[in-house]
Chains A and B, each alone.
Chain A
């Protein structure tokens, strides 16, 4: 018995020591004034539950069997100049890889690159944290310098059930190696609640802490310690219930919106916007903003349509800065910046629109957070009742068709992120300018009618809404979406490719006709564009399978197979093959190859 007890005690203490050592290498949930969601649940069970099932909560989690959904069954991963061996050890998720700190120092010029014959140092580490739970999961590895966290160079895609090099899930210029990322100075700002990077402590050493992992109650309601202490008094609580006037010790965005819609929207805007982040936010104490504050006092907005010296500074430092975020007309075009889009909308500047007009964290579907009843036109007809009463007269489409759904014309999928198209929150009306391609924002009509030309759209808008006909529109009838797919800049190409797989376009147009052009897009230099085009082809015909990361010759073969399948299904098109081929060549020649890095 005695040896058994001794063995058991030794095992127990060893496990405890290992756990303590690990905890010291990972940011902890500890910030004065914040209570964490566990304490909110007791009094707000419904709100806690609706938040708990959503994706804000799981934006960053400690890596546990409950939080990790990627395949960790002893896999050897290669690509983009990286390799790693990932596996499980009990409940721990492990990786054997090049020392991420060494890699970081090489990537950022703090250490000379390898000399011929040298081997990079390799380490075995326990994966500490996971980002995301909806479309993909990225993983973090302790640097062992303080509690710094560096990126695992591979990301798991849920739809595809596969690991891919981390750089290949972003729309970045081809050929570049994805550099090591430091979680503590980039993700912590918006992927946690009240994170504090503390990256300046002890020189390089990082000592980050957060109020809570993921985006929890106090991100939107403010620190809750005072609120909890005050409401331990039941008389106070019932007095507040009786008055129905809200509690001044906590922020309720919906209540705030009644008196100040801008302040309420800024609660979402603290993360869903493009703002200037000071060094103190990036490296020091983190965001000073708490719910209910005026956002711009600590995080000035960066808007192409309202330039400031801060924006000018960024543009001076990086001439491609604006292209990474905005369409040429100043509309935001990358994901997670919806607030930046919304505040350029007339509905917001001249109306009553705020985020909560359509969205709700608590009474909503967890995917888009659209409030109950807001999935259709309800959001818009709150104000535009007359249009809602005679929608077909306004849209010139059948009332029950997708062409009569407000969102499809006024909030088309012109934002790129997460390898897909996302609805733009700059709410405006479709129009055709004389400019197209490059980084010109595509119009909503041609994103649905992907088989129609710009001239066709301009004529319709002129006839229905008296919009002036722009000069210089080609009369060759080439569908605008096809032009964008092959001639636009990388973001426009990705957005155009995505539309062909969207059910709206599939209802409104013969998307099957676009297969040869989508097959041509499989040779796009940007991996993200190839990914989106490949998935659009699979949506048109599930037999169309394509690996966007395969070697060039393999991709070309896959494109040929797709083309042959299409030709055999459409023998009548065979005579046009040469014309199609020539059109493709012409469009690809015009392609805007300006380097683009979508800053999603």
Chain B
């Protein structure tokens, strides 16, 4: 990182178009490996908590009157874990893409935002809810889903021939 900054300071005008368009792959890989593993760590732990709620037969989670909470939490756990894998997949495949730096940065940002917002939306929606409707936290989910789709499309485009 220090080397790269120094080079940039020394000859900003000489920075070629191709260099500007190339993503900093190493940084991306490390970032998404970290995000992926941390997501897996957090949301499998959350899964453990949900299993404990089953084991202890917690009415707050299992009662029929709390079916919406149970569904929301399950979805939060599942989406968080899945997005962890998506981050790992991105990290492992990004060196082989032909994405521009801008696209890679946008895809990375979208993926990370979805990784936070989507499970958070489900979990908040399950904390306080209205009979069959999750609580207002659920409003985080549609934009998170849109960001995920945007991120995935950007990544997919990076593999074009």
Q: Are A49 and B64 in contact (CB under 8 A)?
A: yes
Q: Are A43 and B131 in contact (CB under 8 A)?
A: yes
**Any B CB within 8 A of the CB of A42:** yes
**Any A CB within 8 A of the CB of B133:** yes
Number of A-B contacts (CB under 8 A): 31
Which of chain B's residues have a CB closer than 8 A to the CB of A258?
Answer: none
Partner of A241, one of B64, B65, B133: B133
Q: Are B130 and A45 in contact (CB under 8 A)?
A: no
Q: Are B133 and A44 in contact (CB under 8 A)?
A: no
Q: Are B133 and A46 in contact (CB under 8 A)?
A: no
| Chain A nearest Cβ from B121, distance in angstroms | 13
Q: Are A49 and B65 in contact (CB under 8 A)?
A: yes
Q: How far is the CA of A50 from the CA of B66 in the complex (A)?
A: 13
Q: Are B65 and A46 in contact (CB under 8 A)?
A: yes
**0/1 string, B54-67, CB within 8 A of A gives 1:** 00000000011111
Q: Are B132 and A45 in contact (CB under 8 A)?
A: yes
**0/1 string, B121-152, CB within 8 A of A gives 1:** 00000000011110010000000000000000
Q: Are A238 and B136 in contact (CB under 8 A)?
A: yes
**0/1 string, A31-57, CB within 8 A of B gives 1:** 000000000001111110110000000
Q: In the complex, which residue of chain A has the Cβ closest to the Cβ of B68?
A: A45
| Chain A nearest Cβ from B71, distance in angstroms | 10
Q: How far is the CA of A238 from the CA of B125 in the complex (A)?
A: 12
Q: Are A241 and B68 in contact (CB under 8 A)?
A: no
Q: Are A45 and B65 in contact (CB under 8 A)?
A: yes
Which of chain B's residues have a CB closer than 8 A to the CB of A49?
Answer: 64-65
**Any B CB within 8 A of the CB of A237:** yes
Which of chain B's residues have a CB closer than 8 A to the CB of A234?
Answer: 133
Which residues between 41 and 91 of chain B lie within 8 Å of chain A, taking CB atoms?
Answer: 63-68
| Most chain B beta-carbon contacts within 10 A, residue among A42, A46, A234 | A46
Q: Are B133 and A45 in contact (CB under 8 A)?
A: no
Q: How far is the CA of A50 from the CA of B131 in the complex (A)?
A: 13
Which size class do A's interface residues fall under? Answer: 10 to 19
Q: Are B136 and A46 in contact (CB under 8 A)?
A: no
Q: Are B130 and A46 in contact (CB under 8 A)?
A: no
Q: How far is the CA of A44 from the CA of B67 in the complex (A)?
A: 10
Q: Are B64 and A44 in contact (CB under 8 A)?
A: no
| Chain B nearest Cβ from A30, distance in angstroms | 25
Q: Are B133 and A238 in contact (CB under 8 A)?
A: yes
Which of chain A's residues have a CB closer than 8 A to the CB of B65?
Answer: 45-46, 49-50
Q: Are A237 and B133 in contact (CB under 8 A)?
A: yes
Q: Are A47 and B131 in contact (CB under 8 A)?
A: yes
Q: How far is the CA of A238 from the CA of B131 in the complex (A)?
A: 12
Q: How far is the CA of A241 from the CA of B132 in the complex (A)?
A: 11
**0/1 string, A495-512, CB within 8 A of B gives 1:** 000000000000000000
Q: Are B132 and A42 in contact (CB under 8 A)?
A: yes
Which of chain B's residues have a CB closer than 8 A to the CB of A45?
Answer: 64-65, 67-68, 131-132
Which of chain B's residues have a CB closer than 8 A to the CB of A50?
Answer: 65
Which of chain B's residues have a CB closer than 8 A to the CB of A47?
Answer: 131
Q: In the complex, which residue of chain B has the Cβ closest to the Cβ of A41?
A: B132
Q: How far is the CA of A217 from the CA of B135 in the complex (A)?
A: 24
| Chain A nearest Cβ from B18, distance in angstroms | 47
Q: In the complex, which residue of chain B has the Cβ closest to the Cβ of A234?
A: B133
Q: List 23 A-B contacts (CB under 8 A).
A: A42-B132, A43-B132, A43-B133, A44-B131, A44-B132, A45-B64, A45-B68, A46-B64, A46-B65, A46-B66, A46-B67, A46-B131, A47-B131, A49-B65, A50-B65, A234-B133, A237-B130, A237-B133, A238-B133, A238-B136, A241-B130, A241-B133, A241-B136
Given contacts A46-B66, A46-B67, A238-B136, 11 further A-B contacts (CB under 8 A): A43-B131, A43-B133, A44-B131, A44-B132, A45-B65, A45-B68, A46-B131, A49-B64, A237-B133, A241-B133, A241-B136
B residues lining the A interface (CB < 8 Å) = 63-68, 130-133, 136
Q: Which 3 A-B pairs have the closest CB atoms?
A: A43-B132, A46-B65, A49-B64
